[in-house]
Chain A
């Protein structure tokens, strides 16, 4: 480790932690507005805003391929057809006003029960002593070495440096495709979350069918 090469991250150009918090707040707000807005078209527009937000988040944290394909598939193709059909249907907003306040306690109870059970069943820390932790630790160690280096004394660079390494070609070795990385993590360490999210999706689908089915 005689010379340390500073490798500027060209993918997450200007990545700041505050931006991520900002996007989190906005996307939660958009999600709530998607549910509570009366006009279905406005509701879909908030949903599209949510998609763009999430794509921005993905691009910001470095998954630019997935973020851009998110925009291209969900925003450019799926939502636009959705919006298209909603606009062609003649909906009077006054007909859609219905009493939904009774459902709020039910929703609160369901969410609390769900999270209580999940919290009881699932271990709090999934990533102890796994490949992911060892990998992330190895990255952060190198990072800390650079940041604690008082000889260079470059404060401004702290935000721009992604990682420092002793080899110039480390940059191309560390980089692997995003989809492979996410697939590895999702189907090994975080497989439990995958199952939970699929259960939530199933409940959503069944719920939509139950609401729209005609009672004889």
Chain B
């Protein structure tokens, strides 16, 4: 019985994640169309809302072609690994107080480990296709992912320092007074740039620069195998936006500090106003709004900036972002211990 319940729990997370992936693709096409003064998809469904499902259906019905000299097992294993490990990250995310699959005490660590394995899918898919374009694309992509993972994990180190826990829920709950955006604003910008690069998005989408590499590591993948890559890419975009909003905007907590307002009128405990505030101050809608805004910024960035060269990409990572991050990693603990403001782990209180 408990097995069935856990399967249902998994489906309750994965199916909405995949549906939201579909709507992110359609919103990306519509938003970019508006920014470029086009109409965008408008034929399928109301205002083209069902365009993504029509595309998915088309791709699933197509015939898949594998290159004759390809390593067939790895050719199909690569996309599967990418999709599975992109979706596994949703396991530790708290959507509302008490609404999560796993309250793992090493949640952030788990996400890092999972994203480390997801890199292999890209590497395997590019190598096994036995094509120079796919191979070069996968090497570029892997080098980029390894480099930018360094930045993301260094920033996470500081978040862990300030919250005193690796648990995601503790990180969210410790931002009840003020979100970590305030003390870590420069690092949020670094983290956001890093997360754009980590998801292989424009202007860092060197892995699939059409003018040089056809379509990158997925050049030879077609039909349903391509759908796997597509879903994994957008699922990881949504996941990293959720991670951004959890680390820096307080996750499901409201950005406006309602607890201060409620402190002002403690006499009226049972009023409708009070109940409303307690609902608004921590509800899944907060997380949804924050994540949607961040996804919109991802699309906005894609429509605004031209693609940079590969050497520029690497020098931005190693010579600009990483020194800033390391400087902060040294500075912030010094400030914290110098001013005697050691953060308290709220899980121990």
> Bound pair: A and B?
yes
| Of A26-34, A83-91, A137-145, A195-203, the one with at least 4 CB within 8 A of chain B | A83-91
CA distance A60 to B139 in the complex (A): 33
Chain B 63-93 against A: per-residue CB contact (8 Å), 1 yes, 0 no? 0000000000010000000000000000000
A72-B116, A76-B149, A87-B123 known; 10 new pairs, CB 8 Å cut-off, are: A41-B127, A45-B74, A64-B106, A69-B109, A75-B120, A76-B119, A80-B142, A83-B123, A84-B123, A88-B139
B293: interface (CB < 8 Å): no
CA distance A45 to B139 in the complex (A): 16
**A-B CB proximity, top 8 nearest:** A76-B116, A71-B113, A68-B113, A72-B113, A68-B109, A87-B127, A72-B116, A72-B112
Docked complex: B108-123 residues within 8 A CB-CB of A = 109-110, 112-113, 116-117, 119-120, 123
A187: interface (CB < 8 Å): no
Say yes or no: B123 contacts A80, CB within 8 Å.
Answer: yes
Chain A 50-63 against B: per-residue CB contact (8 Å), 1 yes, 0 no? 00100000000000
Docked complex: B125-175 residues within 8 A CB-CB of A = 127, 135, 139, 142-143, 146, 149
Say yes or no: A80 contacts B119, CB within 8 Å.
Answer: yes
Say yes or no: B119 contacts A65, CB within 8 Å.
Answer: no
- Most chain B C-beta atoms within 10 Å of own C-beta, residue among A65, A71, A88: A71
CA distance A71 to B142 in the complex (A): 17
Q: For B106, what are the chain A residues with a Cβ–Cβ distance below 8 Å?
A: 64-65, 68
Task: List 15 A–B pairs whose Cβ atoms lie within 8 Å, in order of A's numbering.
Answer: A45-B74, A64-B104, A64-B106, A68-B106, A72-B116, A75-B113, A75-B120, A76-B112, A76-B113, A80-B142, A80-B146, A81-B146, A84-B123, A87-B127, A88-B139
Q: For A81, what are the chain B residues with a Cβ–Cβ distance below 8 Å?
A: 146
Say yes or no: B127 contacts A71, CB within 8 Å.
Answer: no
List B residues at the A interface (Cβ < 8 Å).
74, 104, 106, 109-110, 112-113, 116-117, 119-120, 123-124, 127, 135, 139, 142-143, 146, 149
Q: For B119, what are the chain A residues with a Cβ–Cβ distance below 8 Å?
A: 76, 80
CA distance A123 to B299 in the complex (A): 66
CA distance A68 to B120 in the complex (A): 16
Indicate which residue in B109, B116, B124, B143 contacts A75 across the interface (CB closer than 8 Å). B116
CA distance A65 to B112 in the complex (A): 12
CA distance A41 to B117 in the complex (A): 17
A164: interface (CB < 8 Å): no
- Most chain B C-beta atoms within 10 Å of own C-beta, residue among A52, A77, A81, A87: A87
A47: interface (CB < 8 Å): no
Q: For B112, what are the chain A residues with a Cβ–Cβ distance below 8 Å?
A: 72, 76
CA distance A12 to B117 in the complex (A): 22
Say yes or no: A80 contacts B135, CB within 8 Å.
Answer: no
Say yes or no: B120 contacts A84, CB within 8 Å.
Answer: no
Q: How far is the CB of A45 from chain B (nearest CB, A)?
A: 8
Q: For A75, what are the chain B residues with a Cβ–Cβ distance below 8 Å?
A: 113, 116-117, 120
Chain A 38-53 against B: per-residue CB contact (8 Å), 1 yes, 0 no? 0001000100100010
Q: How far is the CB of B248 from chain A (nearest CB, A)?
A: 22
Q: For B110, what are the chain A residues with a Cβ–Cβ distance below 8 Å?
A: 68
Q: How far is the CB of B272 from chain A (nearest CB, A)?
A: 38
Q: How far is the CB of A39 from chain B (nearest CB, A)?
A: 9
Indicate which residue in A64, A65, A77, A80 contacts B120 across the interface (CB closer than 8 Å). A80
Q: How far is the CB of A70 from chain B (nearest CB, A)?
A: 9
Q: For B109, what are the chain A residues with a Cβ–Cβ distance below 8 Å?
A: 65, 68-69, 72
Q: For A83, what are the chain B residues with a Cβ–Cβ distance below 8 Å?
A: 123
Q: For B113, what are the chain A residues with a Cβ–Cβ distance below 8 Å?
A: 68, 71-72, 75-76
Q: For A88, what are the chain B residues with a Cβ–Cβ distance below 8 Å?
A: 139
Chain B residue nearest to A11 (CB atoms) is B105
